[in-house]
Structure 1
């Protein structure tokens, strides 16, 4: 008896399912024009929306920076490798603070770099002229094929009262930005990026702009800025040391010249003198000349070593993939946007058909 009841219930469920599926197909068939109309309407809205987004062109450059492989001792190479796997950096024996490739993305997102970018110029192919990045992004930005909203630059016409700062007492490194500069920096943060491959240390710089030549120009500027930044950081200590030695070298040369001049003058004045006091004074002056010469010679050697050290500490960047002018836009994907709106409209139309055909009171009771 139980088996028969189960079979009857299964048969009843199958009939209900078949009936429900038949009703669904019937509802779709009867409201096919409505479904198509809603779907096509949303697809058209997707096309219009995609046309409100300007074309963007992506340019990339791949760099392989020099990695400091020096160790504190000749036998620490394996130990450093094991420590690196454990996430511990035991440092290098060169005594130089190295800018690790993992820091490069932060450098390209820093405010000082982005301020330099705003001042730089790019060549805009569509306008056939060089223009500053600030003007290109803020003053006269590229427009989309269809403009549904007002120009964004209108909101910058009313500049707020500038912040009044004291003339003295502030740090020279204090950064002051106006409203337009802040908007430009925020815009650039979304357009310039860098990624570092932790396995091989390769750095990929990406720049996205609405003009392909401008994007390539800015990518080249970013590459040069990053390499100069790392080079200056790596060689800053050596350059300061060289500058110090150059100043001391000039001073020691003058000291030596003065001492030699005094000795020569004294010898000329006491050429025929045989007094012991004169001989002792001559020995004293000769000692000062020798001492000044030794200091001058020592500083000259150190200065030459410092110049060699700068060259040795200068990092090498190998360009694996140079900047190329993009031939095709990277975004927006207007076809995908339209298809997405189409499926969304299809989903909305099915909900509308469901609400029109189903008795909600009966369904909820």
Structure 2
């Protein structure tokens, strides 16, 4: 007959005080190192406040845009589009595609480089220290750029500090421009940040105006090229049916040119224009100070427990 040993109940099992957390001991450790925690918290709090006060105010201007009607953004569709394909010419896109393309062009390297050069934003982007709100002018770092002569400085190796298109576009994308789209209604928001509230509004307006002009010019050039091609094909054929098709296509392309030239807001219509912001968008100084204070307290507590752990190596071997 097999003998079974009675398994002790959990209440009968041996207690292991080493595996339990003694809250009184933890509190004693914290209390013994209270000055380390207080000093660390105060140090981080002071540094956080100093950093928050050192950061300059940044303002953000926003423009809410709606996609223009498909009639203005698009060109020719349906049966005429099929006939155009048979004739060997590609006729435009619809309004939705034109809006998607315009949004991507707005953030493209080529468009932004031309935009920055056209409006002479190189120095405001790369060589400013602050914005003088009283005199409404930029404060430049004269080691980088001299506003009186318009000359750029040089580095230690004698190389010019004039920024390249790559530097300008990278800075503008990362620090200034933001383009977002509401997927529910298709609205597009163009936001520009700057040390100057006036510049934030002005740059936003320029972006909206320039992207509309860019897309209009592109569509007009494509339409005029199509008209020239269709007229050449018209002169080459004597078939009445094909001549009628060419006339219809030429008429449609001419209508595209007329509509494009007649509309100022070609791709994006401004629903809510940009205004000069009266309040800064960043930095969040209170949040910076609070986070710095919390980090200081956590670092102080960690330091106290680490010291206590190092001073009692016997707890490791047990």
TM-score, normalized by length of structure 1?
0.60
Report the alpha carbon displacement of residue 179 of structure 1 after superposing the two structures with TM.
3.6
Aligned to 2:40: 38
Which residue of the partner structure matches residue 112 of structure 2? 114
C-alpha displacement of 1:239: 3.5
Q: Return 5+ residue gaps in structure 2 as ranges.
A: 1-5, 81-89, 133-140, 146-151, 232-247
1:197-227 alpha-carbon deviations (Å, 9 max, x no partner): 3443221111111111110000000010111
In the alignment, structure 1 residue 346 sits paired with structure 2 residue 293: no
- Whole-Å Cα distance in 2 between the matches of residues 322 and 67 of structure 1? 19
CA distance in 1, matches of 2:153, 2:167: 9
Indicate yes or no: 2:126 matched with 1:138: yes
Q: What is residue 22 of structure 1 aligned with on the other side?
A: 24
From the two aligned structures, give the one with the greater helix fraction. 1
Distance 1:214 1:21, change over 3 A: same
CA contact (8 A) 2:215 2:267 kept: no
Question: Structure 1: which 5+ residue stretches go unaligned?
Answer: 75-93, 122-131, 145-149, 163-176, 247-300
Q: Identify if the C-alpha distance between structure 1 residues 333 and 104 changes in structure 2 by more than 3 Å, giving closer, same or farther.
A: farther
Question: Within 5 Å, which residues of 2 pair with 1:86-105?
Answer: 95-98=91-94, 99-105=97-103
The change in CA–CA distance for 1:101 and 1:6 in structure 2 (over 3 A counts) is farther
- Flag the 1:7–1:55 CA change in 2: closer, same or farther, 3 A: farther
Whether 1:186 and 2:186 are equivalent positions in the alignment is no
Partners of 2:43 and 2:179 lie apart in 1 by 40
Alpha-carbon contact 2:58-2:193 (below 8 Å) kept: yes
Secondary structure of the 1:142 match is strand
- Answer with 205-214 or 50-59: which moved more: 50-59
The Cα shift of 1:41 comes to: 0.4
User: Contact (CA 8 Å) 1:58, 1:212: kept in 2 or not?
Assistant: yes
TM-score normalised by the chain length of structure 2: 0.67
**CA 1:345–1:233 in structure 2 vs 1: closer, same or farther (change >3 Å)?**
same
SS of the residue aligned with 2:78? Answer: coil
Aligned to 1:238: 223
1:54–1:332 CA contact under 8 A, matched in 2: yes
Does the CA-based 8 Å contact 2:61-2:275 persist in structure 1?
Answer: yes
Contact 1:216/1:325 (8 A) holds in 2: yes
Q: C-alpha separation between the residues in 2 aligned to 1:355 and 1:195?
A: 46
> Is 2:295 aligned against 1:311?
no
- Partners of 2:18 and 2:38 in 1: how far apart? 31
**Paired residue secondary structure (1:331):** coil
CA RMSD of aligned residues (A): 4.0
Question: Residue 11 of structure 2 aligns to a residue in which SS?
Answer: helix
Going from structure 1 to structure 2, the CA distance change for 1:73 and 1:181 (only over 3 Å counts) comes to closer
**Max Rg structure:** 1
Provide Cα deviations, 1:214-273, integer angstroms capped at 9, x if missing partner: 100000000101111222233322244568999xxxxxxxxxxxxxxxxxxxxxxxxxxx
Structure 1, 188-197 or 339-348: larger mean CA deviation: 188-197
Contact 1:27 1:357 in 2 (8 A): yes
User: What do residues 74-133 of structure 1 show as CA deviations (whole Å, max 9, x unaligned)?
Assistant: 9xxxxxxxxxxxxxxxxxxx9313553333443223333223333355xxxxxxxxxx42
